[in-house]
Each structure stands twice: as C-alpha cells, then as structure tokens.
Amino acid sequence: MTSSSSYPQFKGQPRLPKFAIPRRYDIKLRPDLVACIFSGAVAVSVDVVSPTKFIVLNAADLAIDSDSVSFKPDSDSSKELRAVGVGLIEEDEILVLEFGDEIPTGAGVLRIAFRGTLNDNMKGFYRSVYETNGEKKNMAVTQFEPADARRCFPCWDEPAAKATFKITLDVPSDLIALSNMPIAEEKQQGDIKTVYYEESPIMSTYLVAIVVGLFDYVESHTSDGVKVRVYSQVGKANQGKFALDVAVKTLEIYRKYFAVPYSLPKLDMIAIPDFAAGAMENYGLVTYRDVALLYDEQHSAAANKQRVTIVVAHELAHQWFGNLVTMEWWTHLWLNEGFATWVSYLATDDIFPEWKIWTQFLDQTTGGLRLDGLAESHPIEVDINHVTEINEIFDAISYMKGASVIRMLQSYLGAEPFQRALASYIKKYASSNTKTEDLWAVLEEESGEPVTKLMNSWTKQKGYPVVSVKHIDQKLEFEQSHFLSSGSPGDGEWIVPITLCYGSYDVCQRFLLQTKSATLDIKESAWIKLNVDQTGFYRVNYDENLAANLRHAIQSNLLSATDRFGVLDDSFALCMAGQQPLTSLLTLMSAFKEELEYTNLSNLIAVMFSFISSKVGRIVADAAPELIGNVNRFFINLFLYPIEGFVCGLEGPVSAFMLYDLLFMVDRKLGWEPRQGESHLNAMLREELLNGLVQLGHDSTVNEAIRRFEAFLDDRSTPLLPPDIRRASYVAVMRRATKSNRAGYEALLRVYRETDLSQEKTRILSSLGSSRDPDIILEVLNFLLSPEVRSQDAIFGLAVSKEGRETAWTWLKDNWDYISKTWGSGYLLPRFVRSTISQVPFLISLSLSYDHVSTITVSGLFSSYEKAKEAEEFFASRMKPSIARTLKQSLERIDINAKWVHAVQKDERLAKVVQELAQGN
C-alpha cells in the first residue's frame, strides 16, 4: 500500500472531492463470529464527472487488498484499469486510489476487496455479546451513523452521496441474518448459507444495516400490507409485543400525516444488547438498546413504557424525515433529529392522549433552553469541517431546541398549513437531499408567511431571547435581549413570534417582535400571559405588577398546566442568572399550593429537593439557622393541598424532617402499590415521590423500602415491589450501605448479576452510587469498569450521592487514560465529563428521562471557582475534540453556580420574605 504522505493534496478536507459519484453498491460480506473478523468485496457503480487519475472515497480500520482494486469503464468493457497506488490517510479516514491511465468521464464499476475486525467499539461493523442456554455468543451488528460505514466497506460516506445497495451475506446456516431489505434468495452449502437481499431504494451509507445472530420475533402488519417485526434475544419475544403495537399504529399515523406511504415492503426493529446510542433509524432495520424497545409487563415501569413509545415513534419518523428525505450535510442534522423528536410527541399523543404528552414536551423545551443559555452553546446549524466534530452536535440543541423551534413555527403558522407544507416537502424531495433553506421555502410558499427570515434568526445563531415586558399607561412595552444563564450580556437578536392572552384564553393576540423593542396598546385585564402554552423558545421577564397578577392567576387556577410550568421555569432561570432574587422564585412557588398536574408537581418537587440538598440550601442554613425552619415550613404548606385526608394547621417548631414527613403524607395519596385503574401519570408520580423521599433520607420510607426489598430477595415476583418503586428500594438499600454494613449492597449486586432484563440492570446501576460512604462509592465506580457492566451502561452508575462527588472526581482523574481509550471514539465519553464535573443546574432528574442516552443524578453540583480551575487544569493536557465543547460547557455551569451562590449570600431580604411566606400560606 502506498504511503499516505504521497497524497498531501487530499489531506484535511471537510468533504470528499467530486471526481466520481456513486450510484449503486454491490456488497458481499462474510463475518466470522468466532474469530470476530470479516472479509468482503464491493463493486461500486459510479459516474466519473471529470477526467481523473484518482478516485477518493472513505475507509477506516480496513485492510485493503491493493491487488484487487480495479476500474472498468462501461464505455469499454474490455478495458480494465488497475490501481498503481492505494493510500489510506488514517487521520482523515480516506482512501486514495491512483490509476496509471486517466479514467474517462462516464459510468464505470470500481472493485475493491478488503478485510476488517468485528470491533468492540459499538460502531462500524462490531460484535455484541449475548447469552443463550447459559452460553455466551457473538452477534454481528452495524452502527454507521454518523460516519462509520467506512469501517465496514469502502464508500462515499457522506449523506449526499446517495445510492442503491445490493447486499449479500455469507453466514452460519443456523443464524438469522437481517438487512435493510427483504431476503430475495438463500443458498446453503454445508454449514454456511449465502443470503441475497433485494436491492434497496436510493439511500445514504449511514442508513445501511446488517445484524447476524440468534433471535425470536413477533410480527404484525399495517393496513396497507407492510410487514412489521420486533426481533429480540431468544426467549424474549413477548417483550416486543408492546413496541410492535406502537410501531404499527405509528406507521399508520405518519402515512396519513405526511400523505406519503412508508416506502419499503418491511420494517424490522431489533434489540441489541451492546448499543452506544438509544436507537438508530436504519432504513427498514431499526436497531435499539434493549431498554428502548423491550417492555416487560411484570418488570418494566411506567417510565419505561413511555420511553419505548417515544423512542419507537422517533425512529419511525426518520423513515420519512431523514431516510426518504435526507440532510445534505451534517450541518443540517437538526432537520433529522429536531423533526423526529417533535413528531414523536405528535404520534405518542395520538396513541396515548391520557398521558398529556405535550405538557411533558416542556421537558424537551427546558432541556434545550438550559443548554442554549450557555455562552458555550452552538447554533442549530453548525459548520462541520471534520468527521471528528460530528458526534458533539448530537445534543440538546439538535434534538430539544430543534424540536422546540419546530413546535414554535407550527404554532405560528397553524397546524393545518404546517402539515400540508410538510407533506409537500416530503413529496418534492423524496429520495433527495435537502438543506434547511429548502424546508423554509416550502413552508413559506404554503403559508404566505416570511418563514425564511423568521427562522434564520433561530437556526443560524446560538442562544435565545428573554422578552422583558412592562405595563405602563395602557401600553405593554416589550424589549428583547440575549439571555445567558451567567447573567452576562449577549449580542443576539431574534424575530420572536409573540403570543399573549389577557385575563382569558378567549382574548389572545400574536405578532412578530422584529426589532429590539416594541409597544402594544391594551385594555385593563386581570392578568397577562406571554408565550401562550409555552410554544415559543424564549423566556419572559415580567415587571412586578404583571408578575403579581400571574401569581394570583396561578393561585386561582386560571392558567393552563403548560403556562404554569412556563412561568415557574422562567422564574427559576432568571433567578439563576441573577436577574431575579431567590425571594421572587420562592414567592412564585407559593402560588402552586393547589397544584395537581403531574408535570408541574414533578417540577416543583425537583426544585424543592434540589434547594434543600444544594449549596444554596446549606448557605441559607449556615447564614441563619432559624431560616431553614421557615423554608421547610413554607415547603410543607406548599404541598398540603395534594394530600387526601391530611388536616392542616401545623403547630410548634418545624424541623427539617417535617419536610420529609410531609412528602411521605403526599405519597400516601398514591401509596406504595399501584391501584386498580390508576393513571399512567400517577404511576410516574409515585416513582418520583418515593425516589425523592429515600434520596432525602426519610427514615420511615427508607425502612419500608428495605422491607420490601428483602421480600423481593425471597420472591422476585412479590407484589410488594412492583417495577415503579424498585429504584426507590434500591436507593434505600444503598443509603444504608457502608464498608462495615455491606449486606444490602452485596444483595443488590446479586440481583444485578441474576437478572437478564436490561431495564432492571439500568435501575440497579443508577442506584448503586447512592451510598454515603466514600469507600462504597469507590467500589461502585470501579465496578462500572469491570466486564460485568456493558460499556454502554457505565454512565448510569455515575449518579453518585453528594458525599461521593469528590470521590467520583478523583476516580475520574485516576482512571482517565482507561476511560478515554475505552469510550473515546463514540457518543459516551462526554457523558463521563458532564456527569462527574457538572450537571444541568438544579432541576434534578429523579427518574430515567426519555432522550437517547440519559443519566440520573441527585448529587450536589460543583459550585466554586476553585473547582472549575482544578478541572480546567486537569484537562488542559488531555483534551480531545470529542469532549472540547462538553468540557467548556461543564466549566461554565460551575461558574454559573458559583455566581448564584454568591448572589444568594448577599440577599438581605431573604430571611424576611421566607418568614412571611412560611406564616402567610
């Protein structure tokens, strides 16, 4: 093979040169699942667009057979050109083929033979390990997004280089071999069979998929005849039935919504034991983590059921938005992920309207707002100049902000015009590639609104505005400014779709705020709410009178659940940024004492738990010991209303433990066990309440949780520990675990080792770090690096107690070389940095969230400038492109927390206001 130094002209380029364009791939692969290697050959039909001696394509981690490389022009089938130079430029993952004679323009066929390894990195063509009848076996799996098809076969590995694919596999005859298309023919010779698949429609390389192993499946059909199957490990077929039902219903929904049928004859979905992402939308063969596809009636929680629904709906949305119509380059990734996220909620709401999923969608919006409130955020559209930069943009901006600005645009244009425009867009660009501007043009033509001008301000610059509004002399004065969580000024300006209502949802108005400020004539009204139903991606800062009127509207239950959520979330963000005092946030929270909605109760509980367990809460206690009693009394009064049968009128001193007792009484409304016919949302709320109580150390809850865990050890089918409360029991066990009292910890590890349910393993991993003993925490963290934990799952164990944070930080530094080597080439390394150094401030997740990969924590945050400096110094000599943005964001979050702590210390009114709130509710 020629030295890569021979081709300097091709180095360091963001895109492949356009000497030749692929039209069709004929790929033959022979994986060896014992030796974990594979061999292959590819014949690529190409169009040579300009005379050249070079063909340049992508390849990585492949051994190219130089003697096999040839090109045969269609214009002269007797002429075969042989390569005189074959160079692999490893740092750019490109393969340069040099020919002695100039290749003429026109069609021809490029042939290459190659060999590779079924790697353990969960990308490219890799192996996943599963167990059947007590024996460990390997399966072969592909994961090509964003740019890893090149690790399986040489190709033009860019989204715009669409082609058709004809795939042939040589595999052991006793195994099932799946690909994007149905099987056309099988031929068996001894213990090897050759499987020929139908040729695919035109698609991008990152959507090609192959899976080989032993599987069971369940099957159904859509009304228009599409065969749908869910594959799982042998013996787990029943766990695929729920996802199968969701998939069939979702395909029907999308067929009607996009006015275009699903374009392949079959859809397979398969659970993969080792899988780095949450799921992958490969055309016709969608791959998932077990936890994102399988649902067990006996052992899966309500949160698992909801996650499976949303993830399946997300991946199937890609069959239209991403697979049929594909982004031109990774700059436009959000076209795939933002739309799939948004439309997955549309489908989920159609299937399960009782889940009130659009209210829960606010978690997506809030996730986007929090990340985009950082100076180290990035625009929705990001220039990608090297393959190493792609993974970092699979984040809350592409998914959550992307979905939220789509929802904002749909709300502005109207649901029906928006749907008609999307259907037109899909039909116009089917089997093609698009840029963001193409979508705006179709929406603009359909609606007559200035969509391009409006949306460019949201996709081409980072951040978002806070709209400050004042009521002066029968006028509303609006002023937008760039919101940053640090409180620092920004320089962004947006075209903002303003919606507002006056005293009633029957009296609403909308306009575009196209300048920095504007005024609006209004009549007197009891209250005014901007950003109606939180459809806009911006925050609102009300003047004192408007804020007071909104608090009264919340107290009187005049605002929708989504608007109540938005008012609280904006106030919290403004408080963190130093634009409102903590006293304003606490005063607003007092208006929620009659709150009954799941999403808002969950939000309030998270704020309350984070407050009392954070450094801010400790500052309050240290500054004025009597103040913490008033804070607890305030929270107690706040949560009295949801308690059935609880008699108000507390007397005597209020201790910290009264808060926990209150929450215990709140939970009495739900109980430990599911009730006949209870709602999905109540099951979710029970999980959050009990998790919170044990995390906070409420003795009677911890004791009951441990009692139920002990019954579970004797009988894994006991009704005393249903799935929705298992994590609470596991956390309770770990809170009591110490170096000298290890029985519960070891029993929990035994449950982990015995179960074959991925959701159960994840629950246990996310609980192990709850111990308050640093020695146990260190054991847990070391356990994450052991072969007993699948590498994709290690991040779940990083959720450690506040007593364990310093231990976790030291552990990360001590093991960084190994962690960086093991997880450094994919999605997961940034999670180690983010989970150990910082978390999204304050609104702390108490259960598994539903994005593709998520972690859980109730840990306190690093919130000192010294800690930020320590982290920065450690990573100064260990920087990788894949963690550069994540590290900067983590350090910025530490700085934001330190500033907030400093602001609270200087708040002279805090004691007085808290006392008034405690006495006045």
Secondary structure of residue 527 in the 3-state scheme: coil
One-character DSSP codes across 657-697: HHHHHHHHHHHHTT-SSPPTT--HHHHHHHHHHHHHHHHTT
User: What gap in Å lies between CA 696 and CA 657, rounded to an integer?
Assistant: 9
Q: Strand 227-232 relative to strand 539-542: parallel, antiparallel, unpaired?
A: unpaired
Question: CA–CA separation, 311 vs 317, rounded Å?
Answer: 10
How far, in Å, CA of 717 to CA of 691, rounded?
Answer: 21
What is the 3-class SS of 337-378, one letter each residue? Answer: HHHHHHHHHHHHHHHCHHHCHHHHCHHHHHHHHHHHCCCCCC
Please name every residue paired with 244 in a beta bridge, in sequence order, or none if there are none.
none
* 578 neighbors 487 (Cβ within 8 angstroms): yes
- Name which of 427, 430, 434 is nearest 202 in CA terms: 430
Q: Are strands 433-434 and 227-232 parallel, antiparallel or unpaired?
A: unpaired
Residue with tokens 């859980």: 856
Distances (CA, A) of 857 to 61, 216, 700: 37, 35, 23
Separation of alpha carbons 251 and 222, rounded Å: 7
Strands 508-513 and 496-502, how do they pair?
A: antiparallel
DSSP 264: S
CA dist 355 → 306, 352, 521, 606, 679 (Å): 9, 6, 39, 20, 8
Structure tokens at 584: 């304003």
**Cα 668 to Cα 656: distance, rounded to the nearest angstrom:** 19
SS (H, E, C) 836-889: HHCCCCCCCCCCCCCCCCCCCCCCCCCCCHHHHHHHHHHHCCCCCHHHHHHHHH
Q: Which of 252, 315, 597, 687 is catalytic?
A: 315
Tell me the angle at which helices 598-613 and 615-623 cross, rounded to the nearest 10 degrees: 60
3-state SS class at 479 = strand
Closest by Cα among 536, 594, 599, 547 to 574: 547
- SS3 of 748, please? helix
Q: Tell me which residue of 136, 152, 179 sits closest to 39, measured CA to CA.
A: 152
Query: Residues of 871-909 as b/e, b for ≥16 C-beta within 10 angstroms?
Result: beeebeeeebebbbbbbbbbbbbbbbbbbbbebbeeeee
Residue 490, amino acid: G
DSSP class per residue in 418-460: HHHHHHHHHHHHTTSEE-HHHHHHHHHHHH-S-HHHHHHHHHS
C-alpha angle 583-584-586 in degrees, rounded to nearest 5: 65
Strands (E), 273-312: 279-280, 285-289
Handedness of CA 812, 816, 820, 821 (dihedral sign): negative
Nearest 5 degrees, angle CA 353-CA 356-CA 362? 140
Asked if residue 215 lies in contact with residue 232, where contact means CB atoms within 8 angstroms, the answer is yes
User: Using CA atoms, how far apart are residues 535 and 409, in angstroms rounded to an integer?
Assistant: 9
User: What letter does residue 647 receive in the DSSP assignment?
Assistant: P
Nearest to 230 by CA among 266, 269, 280: 269
Is 198 considered catalytic here?
no
Q: Which residues are known catalytic residues?
A: 315
